[in-house]
Chains A and B, each alone.
Chain A
Amino acid sequence: MYLSRRAKILLATLTFGTLSFIYLPLIVVAINSFNPSRTFSWPPSSLSTVWWGRLTESNGVLPAITSSIKVGLGATAIALILGTCIAFAVSRYSFYGKNTLSLLVIFPIALPGIITGIALNTTFHTFLDPLNKQLALWTVVVGHATFCIVVVYNNVLARLRRLGQSLEEASQDLGANIFQTFRYITFPLIRSALVAGGLLAFALSFDEIVVTTFTAGPGTETLPQWIFNNLFRPNQAPIVNVVATMLIVLFIFPVWLSQRISQDGSAGGRL
């Protein structure tokens, strides 16, 4: 297609204009975390690292980070096991309901979090109330694992499809049994896909707030919940800015890393 110089410049302006619109709010938060003023004002009158130093003093941040890490690790572990199982079953076997299963894996992430959240909340209450048990941290892990399965599944499935089965067949022809083949051949070949999927699952769990809200017991607070609860408290705004900036930087790193490792999909399985 022949595009005039003017049309190309227009398209470039639109693209880079939108891209700066994507980054601008994040930069504003980062700058604001160095704003010494307690009340929000733009532009900041001066810059200082005073709130960064007070990060650990603030009540609730550290326990919230701890529970987020616990939930993330638990959900990632479950998602790694279940996601890998489904990926193997779908890529290596044919069975009744295969298409339904590959659709069902996507369901928890395709449906809005609020629906998954309420569904799990209702079920937990229906089964736990008669036992006089309450929602707790493990119920959050169950909720997160449900929607994390898909990212592990996508990563492992892409790798298995690319690998094919010839290496495993060769291993079995040479006399290795099923477990030996998995341990010495298949596992080393899919290891990086597992790491990539695991990192993404952890990032997804660490970021989740909606499902968390509906599956967390009283007294359980993950980091996104802490941010949400403190967002509306004027006194806490500076610390929220610091935590938010920290999260922007922390998030980009594991995702960048998992992209480098896997190279199977461009969107890292989120799309």
Chain B
Amino acid sequence: MRKNRINTWLYRHKGARAALLLALPVLWLAIAYLGSLAVMLISSLWSVDSFTGNTVHSLSFGNFHTLITQRVYSTIAIRSIGVAVAVTLIDGLLAIPIALFISKVLKPRFRSVVIALVLVPLWASYLVKTYAWRSMFADGGVIAWVLKPFGIHGPGFGLAATTITLAYLWLPYMILPIYAGMDRLPNTLLEASSDLGASAGRTFRSIILPIIYPAIIAGSIFTFSLSLGDYIVVKIVGGTTQLVANVIADNVGTAGNLPFAAAMAILPITAILGYLFIVRRSGALENF
């Protein structure tokens, strides 16, 4: 009897049903998660008592002052953004020919197989993939072994190894959107271009590129922000290289200076939001 009454009431009140569905998720995401982000932003204004190691909950711009005045941090910031840009460029250059091949050259029945080949490693453990590159770059590793007969030394652990590993990790995130964009491009357009006498290169520049541009941008958002926020890769194959993310991580872990880490975390957030803003201004997201 009582159950029936609840039923009727719920049936009549659509708003109540929506509210019941939304109560828990909103509590979790909007209050707990967004709240945490807000606490983090505020905590960047706190400081740590150097004597007791306790957090001092009074507001000051000390952390930001250190970040701006000490040369090390701007060098690290520029280096990190440079790595993120390099990774994005490498992935873009690798992904475009692959996407072109899969969607326009390969016969349809092989397409899903090759796409699966691209997708499967996306789900292999991230840590294992990074670790795998450690055995590639290590002293006496695979790369050193291949280059040895030519009398060349491998790059070893460092900035180059970090960039290559990051490019490797995020490549599928670039291939998939570009492939999706290229798949939507009708073949008749390309045939029309050829019929009008355009070479393959001209067709690529004047037809394909403008149409897949939003897809490239979408992929670049992944590669850029994922590279900027990663500190595991640089710890595993980066040797002594310092990037923004591992400076943040070290300040949480060994140094125990959470407020400073929070202040530093604002840098990648700003860079990512700034990148999104530029992309939005360019209008690339509207067509996607």
- Chain A residues close to B by CB (< 8 Å): 1-4, 7-8, 11-12, 14-15, 18-19, 21-26, 28-29, 32, 40-43, 81-82, 85-86, 88-89, 93, 95, 101, 104-105, 107-108, 110-123, 125-126, 142, 145-146, 149, 177-179, 203, 206-207, 209-210, 213-214, 224, 227-228, 231, 240, 244, 247-248, 251-252, 255-256, 266-268, 270-271
| Inter-subunit contact A93/B17 (CB<8 Å) | yes
Cross-chain pairs A/B with CB under 8 angstroms, 5 sampled:
A8-B105, A89-B21, A111-B229, A126-B43, A231-B131
Whole-angstrom distance between the alpha carbons of A81 and B200 in the complex?
51
Cβ contacts under 8 Å, B26 to chain A: 101
Cβ contacts under 8 Å, A42 to chain B: 135, 140-142, 144-145
Select from chain B the residue with minimum beta-carbon distance to A108: B33
| Inter-subunit contact A21/B229 (CB<8 Å) | no
Task: Please indicate which of the listed interface residues B125, B171, B177, B248 has the most CB atoms of chain A within 10 Å of its own CB.
Answer: B125
Contact residue among A203, A244, A251 (Cβ-Cβ distance under 8 Å from B131)? A244
Do A267 and B119 form a contact, CB below 8 Å, given A89-B18, A118-B265, A210-B231?
A: yes
| Inter-subunit contact A207/B125 (CB<8 Å) | yes
| Inter-subunit contact A267/B122 (CB<8 Å) | yes
Do A119 and B7 form a contact, CB below 8 Å, given A15-B114, A95-B18?
A: no
Contact residue among B10, B22, B98, B101 (Cβ-Cβ distance under 8 Å from A178)? B10
Cβ contacts under 8 Å, A19 to chain B: 98, 114, 117-118
Contact residue among B119, B121, B191 (Cβ-Cβ distance under 8 Å from A266)? B119
| Inter-subunit contact B25/A207 (CB<8 Å) | no
Cβ contacts under 8 Å, A24 to chain B: 136, 142
Chain B interface: which size bin? 35 or more
Whole-angstrom distance between the alpha carbons of A42 and B142 in the complex?
6
Other than the given A25-B168, A149-B28, 19 more pairs (CB < 8 A) read A1-B200, A1-B207, A1-B208, A7-B200, A29-B135, A42-B144, A89-B22, A101-B26, A112-B225, A114-B268, A119-B36, A126-B39, A207-B127, A227-B127, A244-B128, A247-B128, A251-B124, A252-B120, A252-B124
| Inter-subunit contact B193/A1 (CB<8 Å) | yes
Whole-angstrom distance between the alpha carbons of A227 and B118 in the complex?
25
Whole-angstrom distance between the alpha carbons of A210 and B127 in the complex?
10
CB distance from B133 to the nearest CB of A (A): 6
Cβ contacts under 8 Å, B101 to chain A: 11-12, 14-15
Interface bits B129-153 vs A (CB < 8 Å: 1, else 0): 1011111101011101100000000
Within 8 A of A (CB), among B169-185: 171, 173, 176-177
Cβ contacts under 8 Å, B134 to chain A: 231
Whole-angstrom distance between the alpha carbons of A130 and B137 in the complex?
46
| Inter-subunit contact B102/A255 (CB<8 Å) | no
Contact residue among A3, A25, A43, A118 (Cβ-Cβ distance under 8 Å from B258)? A118
Contact residue among B118, B145, B252 (Cβ-Cβ distance under 8 Å from A118)? B252
Whole-angstrom distance between the alpha carbons of A14 and B14 in the complex?
55
Select from chain B the residue with minimum beta-carbon distance to A172: B11
Contact residue among A3, A118, A125, A244 (Cβ-Cβ distance under 8 Å from B200)? A3
Within 8 A of A (CB), among B65-117: 94, 97-98, 100-102, 104-105, 114-115, 117
Shortest 8 CB-CB contacts between residues of A and residues of B: A112-B229, A25-B132, A1-B190, A93-B18, A119-B36, A255-B123, A119-B40, A123-B36
